Amino acid sequence: MRKYLLSTSALAGAALLSSAAVADVSISGSFEFDYAARDSNIAALDGNLMGHDQEVHVNFTNKTDSGLTITAQNQFKTSTGAQDDVSVSVAGGFGKIVMGQTDGVNDGYEMNAMGLVQEEEVGTLATTAAGTTATIATNTGGGGGNNSQVSYHLPAMGGLTAGISVGTGAIAKDDEFTAFGFKYAMETGGAAVTLGYSTKTVETTTSDDNDKVSMGVNVVMGAASLTVSQGNTETATADETSVAGAISYDLGNGLVVSAGVVSSEDDKDAGEEYDMTTYEAAYTIASGLSAVLNISDFDYAKGTGSSSVSSNDYNGTTTSLSIKATF
């Protein structure tokens, strides 16, 4: 993403009056337009849909005389008026501390095979037409999200990076969480191999905490990239296991093709299962402009337990075209 560094000339007068360092400012943005056509067994969820997403990122960076790098991150979804990631980080020889409403280490160190696919469709499992919300996992991610939290990342030690996050969700006594994660990168046999693991525990007022684990391996060899991953989710009403695999290949001339598959089942909700297969082609039209064509087949089967018994079985195919621009 191309960034525009603003000169500090506008702040020169203030700098003369203060011994504090003047921050570098970078402004960047992105825009995405999506068109999707869905065909499924639930007529109320079929049809064509258009939508868009636009973000503006404004970052301030200040390097102190003592060698610390202080960065204020401000990401806003201008298409909805909502904030995305808003945080301040302090980095130095000790590692990095991140504070604010942003993603934690369970997002940064997770291993999710679907990350090789840009626009996979998970279906619409949480709609009135499909019944009550189906909570089964649709990927192997670490349960990241923009929560208020503090994260500490250790300085890199060879190929090892690791961190810890603590934080809260909404204002409630049972939403405090702790997350750990690490990644280890190495070269072997001409391939770049990365192992990833993250875990997150959310305290609850019941005897059962909510636990989520993500693990897997990514292998890059030349133009090919392969990721295999597994995720586990345990709550008072769910014991879910998700496995996924995806591959992408850079054909050159701006064209990247990819495919992926994910399968989830809930042992505490007998019969609840989710399967999805996706195929994608992403083409770089010009610098900062790309198009992504995706076809996803999904199949959700409700279980007999309380968490999904009111849902409906849901399966179908979604074809989408996305135009993306970065600034």
Span 131-150, average pLDDT: 80
Determine the Cα–Cα distance for residues 250 and 304; give it in Å rounded to an integer: 43
Q: Is the pLDDT of residue 3 over 50?
A: no
Query: Which of the 8 DSSP states describes residue 157?
Result: B
Q: What is the pLDDT of residue 2?
A: 43
More reliable by pLDDT, 223 or 312:
223
Determine the Cα–Cα distance for residues 120 and 275; give it in Å rounded to an integer: 12
Q: Is the pLDDT of residue 144 over 90?
A: no
Cα-based angle 161, 166, 170 (whole degrees, multiple of 5): 135
Q: What is the pLDDT of residue 169?
A: 65
Q: Is the pLDDT of residue 173 over 90?
A: no
- The radius of gyration of the chain from alpha carbons, rounded to an integer in Å, stands at 22
Span 179-208, average pLDDT: 91
Tokens of 15: 């700098």
CA 114 to chain centre: 10
From 57-71, 89-103, 116-130, 289-303, the region with the lowest mean pLDDT = 116-130
Cα–Cα nearest to 106, from 42, 179, 11: 179
Q: Tens digits of per-residue pLDDT, 224-254?
A: 999 999 999 998 888 999 999 999 999 999 9
Q: What pTM was computed for the model?
A: 0.85
Neighbouring CB atoms inside 10 A of 170's CB total: 8
Query: In the chain, how many H helices and how many E strands?
Result: 2, 17
Q: What is the pLDDT of residue 1?
A: 43
Q: Tens digits of per-residue pLDDT, 274-318?
A: 999 999 999 999 999 999 999 999 999 888 876 666 678 889 999
Beta strands 24-40; 47-63: pairing state: antiparallel
More reliable by pLDDT, 59 or 125:
59
* 171 in Cβ contact with 165 (< 8 Å): no
Q: Tens digits of per-residue pLDDT, 27-51?
A: 999 999 999 999 999 888 889 989 9
- As a whole-number percent, the residues of the chain with pLDDT over 90 amount to 63
CATH classification for the domain delimited by 4-326, as one of 3.30.70.60, 3.40.47.10, 2.40.160.10, 3.10.20.30: 2.40.160.10
Determine the Cα–Cα distance for residues 26 and 61; give it in Å rounded to an integer: 8
From 12-16, 34-38, 126-130, the region with the lowest mean pLDDT = 12-16
Strand partners, 35: 50, 321
Q: What is the pLDDT of residue 244?
A: 97
Of the pLDDT bands very low, low, confident and very high (cuts 50, 70, 90), residue 7 is very low
Q: Is the pLDDT of residue 89 over 70?
A: yes
From 37-41, 166-170, 208-212, 319-323, the region with the lowest mean pLDDT = 166-170
Domain extent listing, the chain:
4-326
Of the pLDDT bands very low, low, confident and very high (cuts 50, 70, 90), residue 186 is very high
Q: What is the pLDDT of residue 157?
A: 95
Q: Is the pLDDT of residue 184 over 50?
A: yes
